[in-house]
Amino acid sequence: MARRLRKTSYLLEKPVFVENSASVVGTKEGQGPLGPLFDMVGEDDLFQTNNWEEAESTLQKSAVHLALKKAGCRTEDVQCMFAGDLLGQSIATSFGVGGFGIPLFGLYGACSTCGESMILGAMAISGGFAERVICVTSSHFASAEKEFRFPLEYGNQRPLSASWTVTGSGAFLLGTKKEGARARIAGMTVGKIVDYGLKDSMNMGACMAPAAADTIERHMKEFGRTPQDYDRIITGDLGCVGQKALIELLRDKHLDISAQHMDCGIEIYDGKEQDTHAGGSGCGCCAATLSAYILKRLEEPGGWNRVLFLPTGALLSKVSFNEGRTVPGISHGLVLERIS
Amino acid sequence: MARRLRKTSYLLEKPVFVENSASVVGTKEGQGPLGPLFDMVGEDDLFQTNNWEEAESTLQKSAVHLALKKAGCRTEDVQCMFAGDLLGQSIATSFGVGGFGIPLFGLYGACSTCGESMILGAMAISGGFAERVICVTSSHFASAEKEFRFPLEYGNQRPLSASWTVTGSGAFLLGTKKEGARARIAGMTVGKIVDYGLKDSMNMGACMAPAAADTIERHMKEFGRTPQDYDRIITGDLGCVGQKALIELLRDKHLDISAQHMDCGIEIYDGKEQDTHAGGSGCGCCAATLSAYILKRLEEPGGWNRVLFLPTGALLSKVSFNEGRTVPGISHGLVLERIS
């Protein structure tokens, strides 16, 4: 059960644990600074399939398999799955996880879906609907370029504000078992759509920063906390352009998160060496980083004790972009704590 | 809180009510047999916007507005929204409901999304996370043709097994208030992806029938009920081809639902007069029919006392179809009861 803190935040009175998790990434992510931490790095980005969409499905399938295996858990022990990706009609998910035969809730929150899936998963457990759920999200550089911009064969130029979609997936087994778990989900703040009227799909960091700022501001107010209450405030994929915008937007609201802020999109690549421009993005960016790096820091001695994890999503499609629409954003926040 | 009945079904011990609802449809639906029952029928299918996607967003916006107005409820009284549509990256939703400023969970379950949204909404309320949530889904004939088949201008021919995407939306205000409510959500069975290997996107009824059969079979087993325990067993949009397949599939499993079965896709149009081939389909089909017709029958004297409502979704995209993939299905089930 939850204790509601004003309107959009919850403190979980019946705790929910990240019992285990797994990350699977592509070659470029394997060569990046977090490379050695991922559970599995593909030999090539097709993952032995026939096309990019199947490759992305394989990422999800492998991440779920690995998370269950690491936890010593069978599919029959999982009551439901919360899953999503970036592709039209979420086909990476439909063809990726159907075979597990687990009751499924398909989600779409663009790159915020990892946070959305974990909030809904935690609600299902804390509300008494499940003992164990699995949350999985993915993205793939090549399927995303085809879906949102141009097929790779076109060889288009990318401005420096553009981000690089991460080929990766993270799967999280949430449950009630504290023993051996990686972290505790202590609370959450649900995202709202925020639209500042920006239209540049090659600068999604700036488009999503207002949504992250909105969720962080509501979170601090509703929990009665300050940025100092967190070891890190971690956004999904704002990249370096979005990071600047976020810190400035929050400064205007008298919140200084410059000492605590970290962005998965900045961490996952070496921006200078890997030519990834503003940083990494995509559903898989924060999911893989959470599993491989953030949860590790919440486990290891001398690491972090409490972080605010905020996947960020840009709600656009090729159609909405071509019709001249804006790029609204959404960001879902989760409080993750070290298990004491 | 819930009482779990085996693995995939829940009996809600803390009841959840459909406090109010609204339906908004296009001209063709207004001319159909349910026409006089809808809350709002558009004057034309553009709903005074510039393109089909904006028109679909307007459907969602109007349905939510109307549902809140009928309930005498302000947006501030609603803790969260569960919403989705059929378009790539759910843009009808992103541009339709963002303005309400309600915390949002975006969903994708193809045409099953109406059921998915109501299951998750009921979980949020029954689990103590909200007093009131709103669930909304939509589809639009022209935006769906463009998304899944061909733009209308192409004038393609359609086989008789094809369905006609409903231009419509249904919004449902779920809450804890029994007084004045339209129906009670008494239980639910969560859908699984079922893939029989069918590949014909012009015969989605047949593609989705196995998923509906799977959910109905699990539901009856887990609740310990028979079809006779329901006044109607109502699928979302199987149409007349899918209906036949469903009844036969269940007969093979020793369940005869032929006396109870009804399909929203068959009810919403006059198949002979309106040239809609197999029947209506789309997220808006079962949502609008639920609000306008099914809930009415659960309210009026001499109507129904208990129905099993099963929106059905076909998990395909233009890309998966062009890549020669199958069309898996999913169906989420809800038990709706008359308020005694």
Task: Report the pLDDT averaged over residues B188-200.
Answer: 96
Instruction: Confirm or reject contact between B85 and chain A (CB < 8 A).
Output: no
Question: Which of A175, A192, A222 corresponds to the end of one domain?
Answer: A175
Q: So what's the pLDDT on residue A239?
A: 97
Cβ distance A87 to B8 less than 8 Å, yes or no, reads no
- A-B Cβ pairs (cutoff 8 Å, strict): 195
Structural domain tally of chain B?
2
Please name the member of A106, A192, A320 whose beta carbon is closest to the beta carbon of B108.
A106
- Residues of chain B found within 8 Å of residue A124, distances taken between Cβ atoms: 123, 127
Structural domain includes residue B181: no
Is the pLDDT at B196 greater than 80? The verdict is yes
Which tens digits make up the pLDDT trace of A242-263? 999 999 999 999 999 999 999 9
Cβ distance A108 to B107 less than 8 Å, yes or no, reads yes
- Please tell me whether residues A141 and A47 are part of one structural domain: yes
What is the enclosing helix (H) or strand (E) of B10? strand B9-25
> Considering the entire predicted model, what is its pTM?
0.98
Which tokens hold the place of B246?
């469903």
Interface-testing mutation among A193, A201, A316, A326, with chain B (most B C-beta atoms within 10 A): A193
Structural domain includes residue B180: no
Whether the predicted interface score ipTM is above 0.95: yes
- Please tell me whether residues B191 and B167 are part of one structural domain: no
Mean pLDDT across chain B: 96
pLDDT band of residue A6 (cuts 50, 70, 90) is confident
Q: What is the CATH number of the domain that holds B240?
A: 3.40.47.40
**Beta carbons of B285 and B138 less than 8 angstroms apart:** no
Helix crossing, A141-148 with A52-71: angle to 10°? 140
SS3 sequence of B102-155: CCEEEECECECHHHHHHHHHHHHHHCCCCCEEEEEEEECHHHHHHHHCCCHHHC
Instruction: Confirm or reject contact between B321 and chain A (CB < 8 A).
Output: no
Cβ distance B320 to A102 less than 8 Å, yes or no, reads no
- Please tell me whether residues B133 and B225 are part of one structural domain: no
- Please tell me whether residues B29 and B142 are part of one structural domain: yes
Instruction: Confirm or reject contact between B328 and chain A (CB < 8 A).
Output: yes
Task: Report the pLDDT averaged over residues B256-285.
Answer: 96
- Please tell me whether residues A206 and A232 are part of one structural domain: yes
Which tokens hold the place of A305?
């004790």
- Please tell me whether residues A22 and A170 are part of one structural domain: yes
Q: Which of residues 210-229 of A touch B (CB under 8 A)?
A: none
Is the pLDDT at B1 greater than 80? The verdict is no
Dihedral (CA of A75, A81, A86, A87) sign: positive
Structural domain includes residue B292: yes
Q: Nearest chain B residue to A188 by CA: give it.
A: B129
- Please tell me whether residues A206 and A139 are part of one structural domain: no
Question: Which of B175, B207, B228 corresponds to the end of one domain?
Answer: B175
Instruction: State the smallest CA–CA distance between residue A221 and chain B in angstroms.
Output: 16
Cβ distance A90 to B76 less than 8 Å, yes or no, reads no
Task: Report the pLDDT averaged over residues A283-290.
Answer: 98
Range of the domain at A263: 183-337
Structural domain includes residue B81: yes
Interface-testing mutation among B5, B95, B105, B215, with chain A (most A C-beta atoms within 10 A): B105
Q: How far apart (Å, rounded) are the C-alpha atoms in residues A261 and A235?
A: 8
**Beta carbons of A206 and A200 less than 8 angstroms apart:** yes
Q: Nearest chain B residue to A119 by CA: give it.
A: B105
- Please tell me whether residues A153 and A10 are part of one structural domain: yes
- Residues of chain A found within 8 Å of residue B61, distances taken between Cβ atoms: none
- Please tell me whether residues B166 and B293 are part of one structural domain: no
Cβ distance A79 to B7 less than 8 Å, yes or no, reads yes
Which tens digits make up the pLDDT trace of B230-242? 999 999 999 999 9
Instruction: Confirm or reject contact between B193 and chain A (CB < 8 A).
Output: yes
- Please tell me whether residues A154 and A17 are part of one structural domain: yes
Question: Which of B115, B141, B175 corresponds to the end of one domain?
Answer: B175
Q: Which of residues 3-32 of A touch B (CB under 8 A)?
A: 4, 7-8, 10
Is the pLDDT at A1 greater than 70? The verdict is no
SS3 sequence of chain A: CEEEECCCEEEEEEEEEEEEEEEEECHHHHHCCCHHHCCEECCCCCCCCCCHHHHHHHHHHHHHHHHHHHHCCCHHHCCEEEEECCCHHHHHHHHHHHHHCCCEEEECECECHHHHHHHHHHHHHHCCCCCEEEEEEEECHHHHHHHHCCCHHHCCCCCCCCCEECCEEEEEEEECCCCCCCEEEEEEECCCCECCCCCCCCCHHHHHHHHHHHHHHHHHHHHCCCHHHCCEEEECCCHHHHHHHHHHHHHHCCCCCCCCEEEHHHHCCCHHHHCCCCCEECHHHHHHHHHHHHHHHHHCCCCCCEEEEECEEECCCHHHHHCCCCCCEEECEEEEECCC
Structural domain includes residue B272: yes
Instruction: State the smallest CA–CA distance between residue A273 and chain B in angstroms.
Output: 32
- Please tell me whether residues A120 and A136 are part of one structural domain: yes
Which tens digits make up the pLDDT trace of B23-53? 999 999 999 999 999 999 999 999 999 999 9
Instruction: Confirm or reject contact between B64 and chain A (CB < 8 A).
Output: no
- Please tell me whether residues A218 and A76 are part of one structural domain: no
Task: Report the pLDDT averaged over residues A161-187.
Answer: 97
Is the pLDDT at A32 greater than 90? The verdict is yes
Cβ distance B190 to A53 less than 8 Å, yes or no, reads no
Structural domain includes residue B225: yes
B20 CB contacts (<8 Å, ≥6 apart)? B67, B70, B71, B73, B172, B173, B180, B181, B182
Is the pLDDT at B6 greater than 80? The verdict is no
Which tens digits make up the pLDDT trace of B104-113? 999 999 999 9
